[in-house]
């Protein structure tokens, strides 16, 4: 019995004792993303965040003419909540949970970054997940434009952060507080709390099995995604930013690994029209996660989103799992996302749509232009080129700020 107990302790230490390599997280997230697509549709965050915002405004009687689906009935709303809970469980099991209150300036930057991400995601129809981590493997032309624009936004925003740190260092210094941290060699309560959260998630998933099995699986997969992201510190903004900041490439390699896995899975699902097509046509299955954002909306939205996620210090998923870990700056970032997504949908998106001609906001499905093989190899080539660049840059430091 004690041998089994030792083996289990060893497994627990392996999973929660140290952070995982980002590429492990990337591959696992890519696989789970394929499962989501097979069950219903790929991973996305901004739609769920907007649903949370709509429910919040509805609670206060605002935008009363809008029909709002309760979070508990919205797959993507629940996906967002469960990613936070999954990360919370991961942080508790690894005794890394603590409420970390940063200096005031950082909280303002979190809120501002979240608001910019909300505008970027609603204008661009998708965030760093929907229009990048899922959009690129979905063979969407708009996702490629969104990615390019997000990259430009990140570089500019990083330059701003460096300038701010040099010129106004006090904005990121000042009083900070930490609550509920586990002391070294102690903090068993965090593991017990983690078990309670895990049991709660299992019960929640079980409660949907009769009425909505898709939701049950969304709950399970989302909580795993939160846990995996927290353990591997998977973050899209890190993958774009770090090569130009510290020169590190491991965050980028992790994201590329996830994209590669998803690319293979998504292409197979689309090519063979795998999954439930009773509700949607074969063509609709092909066009899943190919949003009408090519090229203008993707360009503008991606750029604003890139600015926002760098200032916030977390992309869509990076914000969610850091919320679960207790990083208060990212709580403000999530607040910005939740409040400004419905506002942007109501006021900014119609304005942008009015400005852009129809030719700047259509669905561009790459296989329609260059075939499945052409689309697959184009994306593969971009990923290989990106990998080669970050590795070369890591070695030479040619484009790194530090």
Partner 1 sequence: MEIKMTLDCKGLSCPMPMMKIAKAMKELKSGEVLEVLGTDPGTKTDLPSWCEKSGNELVESSDLDGGINRFVLRKG
Residues that bind partner 1 (CB under 8 A): 19, 96, 98, 100-103, 106, 161-162, 165-166, 172-173, 176-178, 181-184, 233, 235, 238, 241-242, 245-248, 250, 313-314, 322, 325, 327-330, 394, 401-402
Using the minimum distance from each CB to partner 1, give the nearer residue, 287 or 316.
316
Judge whether 22 and 231 are in contact, CB under 8 Å: no
Q: How far is the CB of 329 from partner 1 (least distance, A)?
A: 5
Q: How far is the CB of 272 from partner 1 (least distance, A)?
A: 39
Backbone conformation region of residue 44, classed left if phi is above 0, alpha if psi is from -120 to 50, else beta = beta
Q: Cβ neighbours of residue 346 under 8 Å, at least 6 residues apart?
A: 63
Using the minimum distance from each CB to partner 1, give the nearer residue, 84 or 360.
84
Using the minimum distance from each CB to partner 1, give the nearer residue, 100 or 297.
100
Using the minimum distance from each CB to partner 1, give the nearer residue, 12 or 179.
179
Give the up-direction half-sphere exposure of residue 85: CA atoms within 13 A in the CB hemisphere.
22
Using the minimum distance from each CB to partner 1, give the nearer residue, 54 or 248.
248
Q: How far is the CB of 160 from partner 1 (least distance, A)?
A: 12
Q: Is the peptide bond before 181 cis (omega within 30 degrees of 0)?
A: no
Q: How far is the CB of 293 from partner 1 (least distance, A)?
A: 28
Using the minimum distance from each CB to partner 1, give the nearer residue, 19 or 363.
19
The residue with tokens 């926002």 is 308
- Chain length of the chain: 402
Q: How far is the CB of 402 from partner 1 (least distance, A)?
A: 4
What angle is formed at CA 365 by the lines to CA 359 and CA 366, rounded to 5 degrees? 110
Helices and strands of the chain, counted as H and E runs? 16, 4
Strands, E assignment, 264-340:
294-295
Longest dimension (CA), the chain: 70
Q: How far is the CB of 327 from partner 1 (least distance, A)?
A: 5
């Amino acid at each position: 019995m004690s041998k089994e107990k030792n083996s289990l302790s060893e497994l627990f230490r392996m999973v929660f004792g140290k952070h995982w390599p980002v590429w492990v997280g990337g591959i696992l997230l890519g696989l789970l993303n394929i499962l989501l697509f097979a069950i219903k549709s790929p991973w996305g965050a901004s739609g769920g965040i907007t649903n949370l915002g709509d429910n919040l405004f509805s609670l206060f009687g605002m935008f009363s003419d809008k029909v709002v689906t309760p979070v508990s009935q919205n797959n993507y709303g629940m996906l967002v909540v469960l990613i936070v809970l999954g990360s919370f469980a991961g942080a508790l099991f690894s005794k890394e949970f603590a409420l970390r209150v940063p200096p005031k300036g950082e909280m303002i930057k979190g809120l501002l970054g979240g608001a910019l991400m909300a505008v970027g995601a609603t204008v661009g129809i998708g965030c760093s997940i929907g229009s990048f981590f899922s959009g690129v493997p979905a063979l969407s032309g708009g996702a490629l434009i969104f990615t390019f624009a997000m990259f430009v936004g990140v570089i500019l925003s990083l330059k701003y952060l460096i300038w701010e740190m040099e010129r106004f260092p006090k904005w990121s210094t000042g009083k900070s507080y930490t609550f509920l941290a586990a002391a070294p060699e102690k903090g068993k309560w965090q593991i017990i709390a983690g078990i309670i959260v895990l049991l709660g998630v299992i019960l929640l998933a079980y409660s949907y099995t009769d009425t909505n099995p898709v939701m049950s699986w969304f709950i399970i997969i989302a909580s795993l995604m939160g846990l995996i992201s927290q353990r591997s510190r998977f973050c899209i903004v890190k993958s774009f930013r770090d090569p130009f900041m510290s020169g590190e490439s491991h965050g980028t390699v992790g994201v590329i690994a996830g994209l590669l896995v998803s690319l293979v899975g998504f292409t197979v699902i689309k090519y063979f029209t795998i999954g439930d097509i009773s509700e949607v046509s074969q063509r609709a299955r092909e066009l899943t996660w190919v949003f009408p954002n090519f090229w203008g909306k993707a360009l503008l939205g991606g750029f604003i989103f890139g600015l926002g996620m760098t200032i916030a210090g977390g992309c869509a998923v990076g914000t969610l799992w850091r919320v679960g870990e207790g990083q208060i700056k990212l709580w403000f970032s999530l607040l910005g996302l939740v409040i400004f997504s419905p506002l942007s949908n109501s006021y900014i998106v119609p304005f942008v749509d009015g400005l852009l001609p129809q030719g700047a906001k259509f669905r561009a499905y790459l296989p329609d232009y260059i075939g499945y093989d052409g689309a697959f190899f184009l994306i593969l080539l971009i990923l290989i080129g990106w990998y080669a660049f970050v590795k070369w840059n890591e070695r030479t430091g040619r484009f790194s700020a530090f």
